[in-house]
Chains A and B, each alone.
Chain A
Amino acid sequence: MSKLLIVDDENDIREFARNFFKKRQIEVLVASGGRQALDLIEREHPDLVLLDVKMEEMTGIEVLRQLRQGNSSVKVIMVSGVEDEETVNEARLLGAIDYIHKPFILEDLEKIVLAQLMV
């Protein structure tokens, strides 16, 4: 069973995304902040991470940078509300495989996630 980690400081997002993917036979892990996410990635080795960029404790870009510094090559999809070239560039440089903009609907996310998990 594939493992998907959803990192978002919004409670509703974590809860409903988990519900949604559970129904598709995907094991869903959730983290409400950067530290917890790094911790879970190290322990659980998820196949894919959905990483929110704008978070209180630590930004998604920061999390991604630390991951790469710790030599983790986990697949990461960035999720952000802002079309910010600067951040997009940085994420791409740090090897994020995609960058999707909020808000989007679950069906679209499903396609992207399934495509990555199938590979």
Chain B
Amino acid sequence: MINNYFSIAGLCIGLINLGLALLISFFGKNKLHKVWSYVNYSISFWGFSMFVSGSTTDHDTAFLGWKMFTVGIILIALFYYHVIYIFCNLKSSRFLIFGYFESLVFIILTVFTNWMFGDRVFFSFHQIYYFRTNLLYNFFMFIWSVIVGKSFYELYQYIKNSKGISNIQAKYLFVAMIFGFGGGMNTAPAAWGLNIYPYGQILVCVYGALATYAIFRYRLMDVRLVVSNTAIFIGVYAFVLGIPFIFGYKYHLWEVAIWAMLVLATFGPFAYLYIQRRAEDRLLQEQRRYQSTLRRASAGMGRIKDLNKLCGMIVYILIRAIQIEHALIYIYDEARQEYVLGASKRKSGKGQFIDTIAKSSPLLEYLLNNKSFIVYEEFKQRALDLKDPLLVQITQIIASFEGALVVPIFIDKNLTAIIFMGKKESGMSYTEDDLAVFSILANQAALAIENAKFYEDVRLTHQQLFQAEKMATIGTMADGLSHQINNRFHALGFIAGDALDTIHLNQNEPMPDKMKDVMTELERAFVRVQENVVQGGEIVQGLLKYTRKGEAGFSAVDIQSVFNSALEMAQFKIKSDLLKVVHDYDPMTIPKVKGNFTQLQEVFFNLIDNSYDAMVQRKNESNEPDYRPTLMVRVFKQDGYAEIAFEDNGMGVKDEDMHKLFTPFFTTKLSSKRGTGLGLYVIKKIVEENHGGRVEMVSKFMQGTKIKLFLPVAIG
């Protein structure tokens, strides 16, 4: 009798576990994996042993099979305990050493003597030559149970005291052990002479698969799901294959039964998928709920234009929807070249997070290179496995944010923002499904952040332009006002002066003493008026100087005057010995341009300032001893336009940056004295939109920059 359930199941166990063992040996990375592969080799060996003893009619062969069987169970328990020893980080190795010693002894006894076995095998269940245990074998079984029991116990303790991913792995192992040892123990009653067929031994297959999955898959599915899926799978196939089997067994209609099995087995996967989906829906109800909240919230994010509000909202949604302990988001700030805390929120507890993350942080570099989420527990495990100091460092960085999950947000290749998410309050880990939803959230957030940043830029630019125009208007107004005030002071001065003069001329005329006193008093009063006139005039002059001749609107503006006053504005910053300004024109012959003095002054000032910075940068960086910063200003008249060319021999601009120069907030200046990045943008606006002129630019890196302004010549 070769084809019996016992031997076929044994063969299955042998093959499946051999496959697993080879896989693990091949992909395994650390000692745990190595020992785990030994467990599987042992199980495989054990499975084959049952095939040998179950399928033979020869006593000696069956006897050999049972010896293999015994060696198998010795090794399974031993290596299993070793796995637990490594996995749970057990301190004392005494028991492990004892285990190895004990195993060695029993293996020797099994292989070289027949002491542990009775002297024969018994034909049982009408199909198998089954062995019987004797006293020594029962003693061995006792010690074996102690080892297995201790493994269960240690794992149970570990489950109680651990958290996160290793906790879930431990739960897998535990469940797997129940299946495995539960299945394996089915072979025992018959060996004690009890008439119980070892049907359950096939469960050992499930055990291998489960435990291997647990050890290898870092990012785990929910453990409840695996258990329920396995149960459903077994249930469905027990039904699909079992009913026809019983039918065939009972009525001896094997042909009908086999056809029924085939048909039902075809429907099996559908039934399995259906039931599995329903079960998942129930189990994951909560998760699905917050995932749909997140999806809806993601869609609404794009409408928020304020970056701070947006950050606050992202953090709030995450905490509320997923029920996590805390969340924080860092946004890249171009001007500061670092990541700035956009919002952070804790559901409970205290503790601040740092305000900025430097661009050079190893975590950021890792995210930039890998572009994927980081699940902390998984990452930490990998860092420990690989013993890579960089990964360990990154682990510590993530730990400082108490992050259980790090979600990078990319726009193109740029890491725009980083979200750190704390642990779920439920203690569950982040699942694959979660990550899929978060990647939608991350994409939406990226768009929303980009959007908000754009609005912010536009707002700032408008503000800046508005401010410039306001200043020009105030200048114009102040100019008109101060003329008026000045004239009033002037008239007052004349009135007082003339009155004073009259007093002086008549002082010596004969008059009563009282009148003389009055005259003296009046004289003093008029002198005071005159003094006040002079002081008031000075104040007005100061005001005029400040507003710099904002001629009402547009007028004929002298280029040389504009240049001089712009240079004066720049004086506070420019060390004149560092800069040689060359005029290549005659101030008396150059045309006047039609323009607003204040605005043109702003333009000239920005150009001088940019050139100066570019030249200082070249001087400091280039190491050219003969370098002499020179700003050359030329003016030509051409077709009703004055062409004003500012040519410096500074750093110049790299080709790849050229097209960005006129966009707001772009700057090539060094970070230490970075500008607002508005300079060229404002220049272009003022010259082209306000003056109907044109700006042209030529620049060569490390040679210099030439900017030409074309402004309409004033008529008359």
Contact = CB atoms under 8 A, between A and B. Distances in A.
16 contacts: A10-B487, A10-B490, A12-B494, A23-B501, A23-B502, A54-B483, A81-B486, A82-B483, A85-B564, A86-B558, A102-B490, A103-B489, A103-B533, A104-B534, A105-B496, A106-B497
Contacts of A82: 483, 544, 549
A105 B497 CA distance: 6
A102 B491 CA distance: 9
Given A102-B537, A103-B536, A19 B498 contact: yes
B558 A12 contact: no
Contact of B505 (A10, A13, A23, A107): A23
Given A81-B487, A86-B561, A106-B494, 13 more contacts: A10-B487, A10-B491, A13-B494, A23-B502, A23-B505, A81-B483, A81-B490, A83-B541, A83-B545, A103-B492, A103-B536, A104-B537, A105-B496
A84 B551 CA distance: 11
A25 to B, nearest CB: 12
A106 B534 CA distance: 12
A17 B494 contact: yes
Nearest to B485: A81
B501 A106 contact: yes
B561 A104 contact: no
Contacts of B483: 54, 81-82
Contacts of B693: none
Interface residues of B, number: 31
B530 interface: yes
A17 B487 CA distance: 14
B495 interface: yes
A106 B498 contact: yes
Contact of A83 (B505, B534, B536, B544): B544
Contact of B493 (A19, A84, A85, A103): A103
B548 to A, nearest CB: 11
Interface string B468-495: 0000000000000011001101111111
Contacts of A16: 491, 494-495, 497-498
Interface in B525-557: 530, 533-534, 536-537, 540-541, 544-545, 549
A104 B495 contact: no
Given A16-B498, A81-B483, A81-B490, A105 B544 contact: no
Contacts of B489: 102-103
B492 to A, nearest CB: 8
A104 B487 CA distance: 11
A19 B534 CA distance: 21
Contacts of B501: 20, 23, 106
A107 B497 contact: yes
Nearest to B556: A86
Nearest to A18: B498
Nearest to B487: A10
B537 A103 contact: yes
Contact of A20 (B486, B487, B494, B530): B494
Interface string A15-40: 01101100100000000000000000
A103 B495 CA distance: 12
Nearest to B531: A105
Nearest to A108: B497
B506 to A, nearest CB: 10
B486 A102 contact: yes
Contacts of B545: 83
Contact of A12 (B491, B502, B540): B491
Contacts of A102: 486-487, 489-490, 537
Contacts of A13: 490-491, 494
Interface of B: 482-483, 486-487, 489-498, 500-502, 505, 530, 533-534, 536-537, 540-541, 544-545, 549, 558, 561, 564
B590 to A, nearest CB: 13
Nearest to B492: A103
B498 A105 contact: no
Nearest to B501: A20
A106 B493 contact: yes
B493 A105 contact: yes
A103 B534 contact: yes
Interface string A87-105: 0000000000000011111
B544 A20 contact: no
A106 B494 CA distance: 6
Interface in A50-67: 54
Contacts of A105: 493, 496-497, 530, 533-534
Contacts of B500: 106
A84 B497 CA distance: 26
Interface string A74-86: 0000000111111
* From B501, B534, B558, residue with most partner A Cβ within 10 Å: B501
A12 B482 CA distance: 18
Contacts of B540: 81
A85 B544 contact: no
Contacts of A107: 497
A23 B500 CA distance: 12
Most B C-beta atoms less than 10 A away, residue of A81, A83, A85: A81
B566 to A, nearest CB: 14
A16 B495 CA distance: 6
Among B493, B494, B500, B561: residue with most chain A CB under 10 A = B494
Q: Which 10 A-B pairs have the closest CB atoms?
A: A106-B497, A103-B490, A81-B486, A12-B491, A103-B537, A16-B498, A102-B490, A16-B494, A103-B489, A103-B493
A12 B495 contact: yes
Nearest to A85: B561
Contacts of B493: 103-106
A101 B540 CA distance: 12
B541 A20 contact: no
A9 B382 CA distance: 90
A105 B530 CA distance: 7
A94 to B, nearest CB: 14
Contacts of B502: 19, 23
B593 to A, nearest CB: 13
A107 B561 CA distance: 33
A1 to B, nearest CB: 18
B589 to A, nearest CB: 13
A102 B545 CA distance: 15
Nearest to B592: A86
Nearest to B540: A81
A25 B561 CA distance: 43
Contacts of B534: 103-105
B507 to A, nearest CB: 13
Contacts of B490: 10, 13, 81, 102-104
A105 B496 CA distance: 9
A14 to B, nearest CB: 9
Central interface residue in A10, A82, A103, by most chain B CB within 10 Å: A103
A20 to B, nearest CB: 5
A84 B561 CA distance: 9
Nearest to A12: B491
